[in-house]
Structure 1
């Protein structure tokens, strides 16, 4: 690296400081990377001066160590090959460390087998993603990361920073669904929770082309597939079931099948899914697809915890927290559908409130965004209309977004441009 600028560009794409076994080599590498990043020439002299400035020259062995490194390099053109050896050896060391940790957990009598299996899988997953992330960050690092994100936002083609829901006014309010966020969609039974998140899954997978993992604990994959196909074709399921479908309808169904066929939407419809199951399947899908765009869980109250807990409130709280941690781990938005308690039915104002979330206030605490779906079909003037009430938005404003609901297609649309 101190002999060729091209070698530096190759190496920093392959190796990180924590890939080096010797601390001195890690510090030297980090120093060279810093000098290169400033646009200064990288050689033995600038390396020594930067190490002096950092106060780490003696820690790495002084001038003699730097000179020795330069003298021992056979040829700079092989730098990328050497870097791969360092990275591969580092990976093996991390695997050995992970295996030791897993053995310790397996021998621990306090841990339940399911928890050990989950922790073991997470440990291997971290290694596969090239090691753990730094747990401690300086303000200098945070500011640099923030500036990089701001530049990315400024230069992006999309109008939104996050994953688009496909609903214009919702995306405008949230700027899309943000990575690492837990988004809770809640409503009373029969209002359209599952329909709404299925619509969002379709929009993300088909329109945005991002892989979506949908865990459906209530609807079967057949039901979801049929809803998606009928909605895409704009042909009601009742018409198909009762054989009232003409040639034009069949043509639209065929076109819809083509448009949905390659969409990266993966549905798990097991009726008994635990948090451990979701984490395991999500990690595998993420690794197989080089990342997921979003996860949907429908719905939260049907999930169970592998570990025994004192009461249902505590169980839901741990599941909610686990979904939030999964969103942060995979750096994607996670949508969790939630039921409401019966309090709205007892009030004169039927519109849901945060206190109506069923079984645990922890859902509200863990969620970055909470949205309620409210429909008042008893009022003829409001038939076919729905309000998406954004009651909590940790990093932005709250508001109510009007949508149109088409019950014959079990589909929500942007209010201003809805078509039957």
Structure 2
């Protein structure tokens, strides 16, 4: 069921008259007719637009004055009335007399900033009412899910809230902020200007996981992308390096959206990884129960109070994901988000229009979420089968990202994970070549908007689903 989004106008039928101030509207227009350059500058700073005027005649006068001003023409009673006459709208707004009354009723152009503040406040109130009424109408549509309605309404309310923020900082302030960030990096011995991943070989290239960045970690199935992402989340939440061998900094809250694995499955994997106990052997009852219990209890004590927050809802709509992440940030102050994985998300807005277009929308929303919440977002993604047919090691490329090139375009960082032994050892019997070391994992940082690219080597213990730093790492560019 389609519905038409409502907006307030003077002609719109309503049980109650929406908030507006006829006096403020006339005073702003009078100021424009008296001193357009000054008044228009004040209007621009206050985000005054045609819809800020509730009375339709006033909207028409403002649009006409704005059009003249934008064309570099003089704006006064004579020019505005002539433009309205040419367009056949002069009588509609009340004639020249209406414009003259506005000028006479304006106390002083110097007070225009106060008049525009009243105008802006009334406009915002009407927008809030409009959002509420739109939400009400959506609730009666049989094909609208409650999760999507809540998410869309929250997004619309936040859009109103954002209009009240001054997003354009003075250049001087922006420069000072940037210098402050650079100085903080210079003071750190490791040169990291983001959150440490806990892996030295990754941090050398990434320089940390930076706020507002979309970080894609992509791989073919069974390469360990979920394990690596969970290892990073654990390192951040505990403030340790890989394997928890050393404390690097204070623990930071982490939010995880697991679209594939349940919370219980994630915790089981994390506990066994930290305890260095094989999960498969535990489930099969093939371990020494006393030893395993002691090791798992010790691991549980480490993880019990870790600031990790997991949402394992499957089949999430991307707008619902953004709403949940927003609430998670507000409630828990999360500093890192991990999504496992992109291809399991949906976009109801583009459902039925092809998976590629749907993925474009999902990717764009994840990037927008990273910027909105100002946290790094690690999103896992699948690769196509192309690496399996490329060479004996199954070396991936960015072009192997499934469904859409938009993922590569939106991402600030793209990391491609593969284990050379996975494919090479399948061929060893046919080729007679010696087996490849199955602990070696490679991460090709194929895109890094603010740092170096290149291949980082890690070690992977598949029995414990645990990655660690290799002694040396491959070249960077």
TM exceeding 0.5: yes
Counterparts in 2 of 1:241-390, with a 5 A limit?
A: 241=283, 242-289=285-332, 291-307=333-349, 308=351, 310-348=353-391, 350-377=394-421, 378-379=424-425, 380-390=435-445
**Unmatched 5+ stretches in structure 1:** 1-22, 28-57, 62-91
> How much has 1:170 moved relative to structure 2?
0.4
> How much has 1:346 moved relative to structure 2?
1.9
Which residue number corresponds to residue 9 of structure 1?
Answer: none
The answer to which of 352-361 and 261-270 deviates more is: 261-270
Instruction: Determine whether 1:121 maps to 2:121.
Output: no
> How much has 1:102 moved relative to structure 2?
1.4
> How much has 1:148 moved relative to structure 2?
2.9
Task: Check the 8 A contact 1:193/1:337 in 2, yes or no.
Answer: yes
Instruction: Determine whether 1:201 maps to 2:233.
Output: yes
Partner Cα distance (1:105, 1:156) in 2: 50
Q: Greater Rg, structure 1 or structure 2?
A: 2
Aligned residue pairs, count: 334
> How much has 1:198 moved relative to structure 2?
1.1
Specify the SS of the correspondent of 2:420: coil
Q: Runs (4+) of structure 1 moved beyond 6 Å?
A: 58-61, 92-95
Task: Check the 8 A contact 1:298/1:336 in 2, yes or no.
Answer: yes
Specify the SS of the correspondent of 1:381: coil
Task: Check the 8 A contact 1:187/1:372 in 2, yes or no.
Answer: yes
Partner Cα distance (1:352, 1:403) in 2: 16
Partner Cα distance (2:380, 2:374) in 1: 19
Specify the SS of the correspondent of 1:382: coil
Q: Equivalent of 1:162, from 156, 170, 194?
A: 194
Cα–Cα, structure 1 residues 98 and 156, in superposed 2: closer, same or farther, change >3 Å?
farther
Counterparts in 2 of 1:189-228, with a 5 A limit?
A: 189-207=221-239, 208-228=250-270
Alignment RMSD: 3.3
Post-superposition CA distance 1:73-119 (Å, at most 9, x none)? xxxxxxxxxxxxxxxxxxx999846623513644889x995666334
Specify the SS of the correspondent of 1:224: helix
> How much has 1:397 moved relative to structure 2?
1.1
Which residue number corresponds to residue 114 of structure 2?
Answer: none
Q: Equivalent of 2:128, from 80, 91, 99?
A: 99
Which residue number corresponds to residue 204 of structure 2?
Answer: 172
The answer to which of 364-373 and 200-209 deviates more is: 200-209
> How much has 1:228 moved relative to structure 2?
0.4
Q: Equivalent of 2:272, from 206, 214, 230?
A: 230
Instruction: Determine whether 1:410 maps to 2:465.
Output: yes
Which residue number corresponds to residue 239 of structure 1?
Answer: 281
> How much has 1:123 moved relative to structure 2?
4.5
Partner Cα distance (1:258, 1:157) in 2: 31
Post-superposition CA distance 1:146-182 (Å, at most 9, x none)? 2232234345687521111111110121111110000
Post-superposition CA distance 1:226-283 (Å, at most 9, x none)? 0100011111113322241253332221111001001111111122111122111111
Task: Check the 8 A contact 1:125/1:283 in 2, yes or no.
Answer: no
**Unmatched 5+ stretches in structure 2:** 1-27, 29-41, 43-107, 112-120, 240-249, 426-434, 473-477
Post-superposition CA distance 1:47-70 (Å, at most 9, x none)? xxxxxxxxxxx9868xxxxxxxxx
Q: TM-score, normalised by structure 1?
A: 0.71
Cα–Cα, structure 1 residues 181 and 137, in superposed 2: closer, same or farther, change >3 Å?
same
Cα–Cα, structure 1 residues 252 and 400, in superposed 2: closer, same or farther, change >3 Å?
same
> How much has 1:334 moved relative to structure 2?
0.6
Task: Check the 8 A contact 1:239/1:245 in 2, yes or no.
Answer: no
> How much has 1:309 moved relative to structure 2?
5.0
Q: TM-score, normalised by structure 2?
A: 0.63
Task: Check the 8 A contact 1:95/1:124 in 2, yes or no.
Answer: no
Which residue number corresponds to residue 174 of structure 2?
Answer: 142
Task: Check the 8 A contact 2:395/2:420 in 1, yes or no.
Answer: no
Cα–Cα, structure 1 residues 249 and 116, in superposed 2: closer, same or farther, change >3 Å?
closer
Task: Check the 8 A contact 1:272/1:303 in 2, yes or no.
Answer: yes
Which residue number corresponds to residue 7 of structure 1?
Answer: none
